[in-house]
Structure 1
Amino acid sequence: MAAPTTRSLSALGWDTLTRADPDLGTLLDAEARYQADSLSMVASASAAPPSVLCAHGTVLSNVTAEGYPGARYHPGAAQFDAIERLAVSRARRVFGARYANVQPHSCSSANLAVLGALLPRGGRVLALGLDAGGHLTHGATASVSGKYYDVAHYGVAPDGTLDYGAVLDRALAHRPHVVIAGASAYPRRLDFARFRAVADRVGACLIADISHIAGLVAAGLHPSPIDHAHITTTSTYKQLAGPRGGLILLGEDHRRTAPDNRTELRKLMQSAVFPGFQGTPDASAIAAKARALAIASTESFRATMGRVVANARTLADELATLGYKVLTGGTDNHMVLVDIRPAGLTGVVAERALEECGILVNRNKIPGDALPPSVSGGLRFGTNILAQRGMSPSQVRACAGVVHDVLRGVTALGTTRYALDPATRDAARARVDALCARFPLRSDDA
């Protein structure tokens, strides 16, 4: 009998699944078709290439091996050790880091592990507020990070941009032990050097969370925080087109002592992830991270990231031309934020109406937004997947036009209910189908 291979096991698995569990197989096929036929402009998403998906669905799922390469708490990890070392070396190369930890199950896990390692309960944190574009794990009251630590937030100026002078003022008033630079809804460049100056002024550690802009950083299209921040965290799926997971990266400060003045940061990060906050690593996810990081080092990936930025600028300009209030007047990255309230709509109404037409955009709170997060007054657009489809600015203008036609056809019936003209819906759906057929999700990822 021939020895099993990844290819043979994958083929056997899919054949068995479709025969033995047709209900699940049908749902999985339906999801693949749905993604192919949807015009996704979700800013927190990218499409993992087939080779990444393949790497994530292998016999590595059978490996239980707590610990790190060469120091596992279980036998049988020789191949996994080599794969994790490969992922670490690729992460270091892609981001120019001196240290990388590829085990975090998500960037949220990475953030909590880093905070837990650096701070005692009640330790002081300064981060961007959720309503101003921050993230839950940056000290939002709904997160354990907001319950466990003493958190102060900085915001944005009236024009929606960061005021670094105001950030310094907040730091001087709060005297944080940790400053977090990063956002989930901020369309402009982050000046990590200025954040480091703020952190140094008050003797704080600087954490840079680049989950949303990791692809641009890897491609050299956004300034890197690696040697400015003491610690950098990121997800691997939002813009790196990898699996669900996270990374912790260190630059020049990798051998700097931690707040306890005894442990080097690189050693502290090792123990923070395991055994501090996680047990067994997801071996399959780490293999998929290794594959995604290999792709992120290619010229093809850099070209895609270039399209991401060009398309986002075009989308912002086109939406503004069509009469929408674009926050900060534009974008420097993949993200476009729109205050949808002047159009007489809420974020959730606009999101649901667009989804009905095959367009995926998420509602988002914006500065000064009094509506709850489940409703919101804004929309967040992203161009990652449009760029992966190969769309250029001319097609992005067409996407903006479809969005505009749908939103013009919506009648708000309250903050969460609406009516959409069927003719408008059908016409938009036809245009979405044509765009998706002309620019399919790419199957090549070499």
Structure 2
Amino acid sequence: MTHQPAIPTLTAADPEIAGLVEDEARRQAEKIRLIASENYVSEAVLEATGSVLTNKYSEGYAGKRYYEGQQFIDQVEQLAIARAKSLFGVDHANVQPYSGSPANLAAYLAFAQPGDTVMGMALPDGGHLTHGWSVSATGKWFNPVRYGVRKETGRVDLDQVRDLAREHRPKLIFAGGTAIPRTIDFPAFAEIAQEVGAVLVADIAHIAGLVAGGAHPSPVGHAQVITTTTHKTLRGPRGAMIMTDAEHAKAIDKAVFPGLQGGPHNHTTAAIAVALGEASKPEFRDYAHAIVANAKALAEALVERGFDLVSGGTDNHLLLVDLTSKQIGGKPAAQALDRAGIELNYNTVPFDPRKPFDPSGIRLGTAAITTRGLTPEHQPQIAEWIDRSVTAAAAQDEAAIGKIAGEVRDLLATHPIPGYRA
């Protein structure tokens, strides 16, 4: 087995790094990857990411660059923009942000001043650092107001959102987050934002692929600004995009460049274009719906085994599990599951009494396992392995954990991944 595309030149020039690349490829192939923010990209995306486009500096926008030699780079970026606009049905797309956090920062720079009031979901309830959390620049430079979920349901408390918005009149309202297992009600957020005169920013980093594939309602027509990463469910490279209506396009472009960054990463832009092309095909719609079907099946199987799911289940790719009843913290459980060949992350849960670095929960996602062809029929087995691993971790039974890892490898041997093959 070897990394694909092959890396013979790297192997000859730097065998130490090449060996680590091969080790990582093998690790990804041998583990059930349930980290909700990860996926496997196609070999076409890998090839674009590793192309000579990385050699070119392209400060500015297509037709308005500060360096010469942009004849083909402009075409690459214009293709990515056109594909984003077509796929999501938006007026405007900026494909230059380096990642999701800089994309969110651009929204602040475009539509708020330091010290202005902004509103986002609290991090422990499922929000993102860049939605105004205290340790982020967004929480230090702006006046953050935070909404959360209802304790009895684990779902966004829209009454609280409305009351806080009326009281504090934020310049920006962020809808979306990093650990939200339920459908985001974009029309309700839009109504609140309109009432208080706020710009609504829909952060769809986690669900962009589901939106593109019709497996989650779209924020288009509700949010003036839409930010997203291009990996996760969209199955592209590590990059980001900002999509807007026509009215907000110019301010966003100025915020990205020259406001926040210099030249875009052209190899990433090309890979984004490739991924968007793949996402426009009919089979991607099947993929998006299969992600949700797998998540629902896994949720059901975990509930049957006595696991407590925040909000009781999922509507998308993501599950948030509270392990309090299992008498184990999220961190030791996640570490044991990794040793058992099941990769996920420990995560806070709403109203978590434990500290963020040692929380009560774990977060799971089904985008990556769906890419490699696992189906709802496989989810009871995955749930059984998770249950056995958590039990073994609590009992400090490393032999049982090792046995599970072998069973996982046996299953995955018949489900290869893009980027690693014989």
One-letter amino acid of the structure 1 residue matched with residue 392 of structure 2: G
One-letter amino acid of the structure 2 residue matched with residue 81 of structure 1: D
1:352 matched to which residue of 2?
A: 335
Query: Is the contact between residue 278 and residue 284 of structure 2 (CA under 8 Å) also seen in structure 1?
Result: yes
1:437 corresponds, among 387, 393, 413, to: 413
State the Cα distance separating 1:269 from its structure 2 match.
1.0
1:119 aligns with 2:112: yes
2:139 matched to which residue of 1?
A: 146
Deviation readout 1:104-129 (Å, 9 max, x if unpaired): 00111010011111101011111110
**Distance in 2 between residues matched to 1:248 and 1:385, nearest whole Å:** 24
One-letter amino acid of the structure 2 residue matched with residue 285 of structure 1: T
CA, structure 1 residues 203+391, in 2 after alignment: closer, same or farther (shift >3 Å)? same
1:163 matched to which residue of 2?
A: 157
2:102 matched to which residue of 1?
A: 109
State the Cα distance separating 1:422 from its structure 2 match.
2.8
Higher deviation after alignment, 11-20 or 231-240: 11-20
Higher deviation after alignment, 434-443 or 75-84: 434-443
2:390 matched to which residue of 1?
A: 407
Deviation readout 1:35-69 (Å, 9 max, x if unpaired): 00111000111111111010011111110110000
2:202 matched to which residue of 1?
A: 208
State the Cα distance separating 1:20 from its structure 2 match.
2.1
2:78 matched to which residue of 1?
A: 85
1:180 corresponds, among 167, 170, 174, to: 174
1:307 matched to which residue of 2?
A: 290
2:238 matched to which residue of 1?
A: 244
State the Cα distance separating 1:162 from its structure 2 match.
1.3
**Distance in 2 between residues matched to 1:238 and 1:282, nearest whole Å:** 19
**Distance in 1 between residues matched to 2:343 and 2:5, nearest whole Å:** 34
Query: Is the contact between residue 41 and residue 418 of structure 2 (CA under 8 Å) also seen in structure 1?
Result: no
1:378 corresponds, among 361, 376, 379, to: 361
One-letter amino acid of the structure 1 residue matched with residue 218 of structure 2: S
1:194 corresponds, among 188, 195, 198, to: 188
Deviation readout 1:192-246 (Å, 9 max, x if unpaired): 0110000011111100000000000001111100210010000001111111111
**Distance in 1 between residues matched to 2:180 and 2:6, nearest whole Å:** 42
Query: Is the contact between residue 125 and residue 150 of structure 1 (CA under 8 Å) also seen in structure 2?
Result: yes
Partner SS state of residue 7, structure 2: helix
1:424 corresponds, among 393, 400, 404, to: 400
Query: Is the contact between residue 35 and residue 345 of structure 2 (CA under 8 Å) also seen in structure 1?
Result: yes
**Distance in 1 between residues matched to 2:35 and 2:103, nearest whole Å:** 23
1:52 aligns with 2:45: yes
**Distance in 2 between residues matched to 1:356 and 1:42, nearest whole Å:** 15
**Distance in 2 between residues matched to 1:11 and 1:317, nearest whole Å:** 36
State the Cα distance separating 1:186 from its structure 2 match.
0.8
Partner SS state of residue 410, structure 1: helix
2:276 matched to which residue of 1?
A: 293
2:28 matched to which residue of 1?
A: 35
**Distance in 1 between residues matched to 2:53 and 2:399, nearest whole Å:** 50
1:255 aligns with 2:246: yes
**Distance in 1 between residues matched to 2:337 and 2:228, nearest whole Å:** 29
- Give the TM-score, by structure 1 length: 0.91
Query: Is the contact between residue 45 and residue 271 of structure 2 (CA under 8 Å) also seen in structure 1?
Result: yes
Query: Aligned pairs, how many?
Result: 417
One-letter amino acid of the structure 1 residue matched with residue 132 of structure 2: G
**Distance in 1 between residues matched to 2:257 and 2:166, nearest whole Å:** 34
Query: Is the contact between residue 353 and residue 420 of structure 1 (CA under 8 Å) also seen in structure 2?
Result: no
State the Cα distance separating 1:443 from its structure 2 match.
6.0
Partner SS state of residue 173, structure 2: strand
Matches within 5 A, 1:323-342: 323-342=306-325
1:227 corresponds, among 221, 246, 249, to: 221
1:131 aligns with 2:114: no
1:94 aligns with 2:87: yes
2:211 matched to which residue of 1?
A: 217
State the Cα distance separating 1:425 from its structure 2 match.
1.4
CA, structure 1 residues 427+272, in 2 after alignment: closer, same or farther (shift >3 Å)? same
**Distance in 1 between residues matched to 2:208 and 2:5, nearest whole Å:** 35
Percent of aligned positions with the same letter in both sequences?
Answer: 41
**Distance in 2 between residues matched to 1:46 and 1:218, nearest whole Å:** 16
2:263 corresponds, among 276, 280, 299, to: 280
Deviation readout 1:249-287 (Å, 9 max, x if unpaired): 01xxx233xxxxxxxx11111111000001010000000
State the Cα distance separating 1:441 from its structure 2 match.
1.6
State the Cα distance separating 1:15 from its structure 2 match.
2.5
- Give the TM-score, by structure 2 length: 0.96
**Distance in 2 between residues matched to 1:420 and 1:90, nearest whole Å:** 51
**Distance in 2 between residues matched to 1:171 and 1:356, nearest whole Å:** 45
Deviation readout 1:406-443 (Å, 9 max, x if unpaired): 111122xxxxxxx6313311220121111211222246
**Distance in 2 between residues matched to 1:371 and 1:293, nearest whole Å:** 40
Query: Unaligned regions of 5+ residues in structure 2, if any?
Result: none
One-letter amino acid of the structure 1 residue matched with residue 398 of structure 2: P
CA-atom RMSD in angstroms: 1.6
Query: Is the contact between residue 165 and residue 196 of structure 2 (CA under 8 Å) also seen in structure 1?
Result: yes
CA, structure 1 residues 14+305, in 2 after alignment: closer, same or farther (shift >3 Å)? same
State the Cα distance separating 1:12 from its structure 2 match.
11
1:23 corresponds, among 16, 20, 29, to: 16
Partner SS state of residue 72, structure 2: helix
Query: Is the contact between residue 215 and residue 239 of structure 1 (CA under 8 Å) also seen in structure 2?
Result: yes
**Distance in 1 between residues matched to 2:369 and 2:253, nearest whole Å:** 37
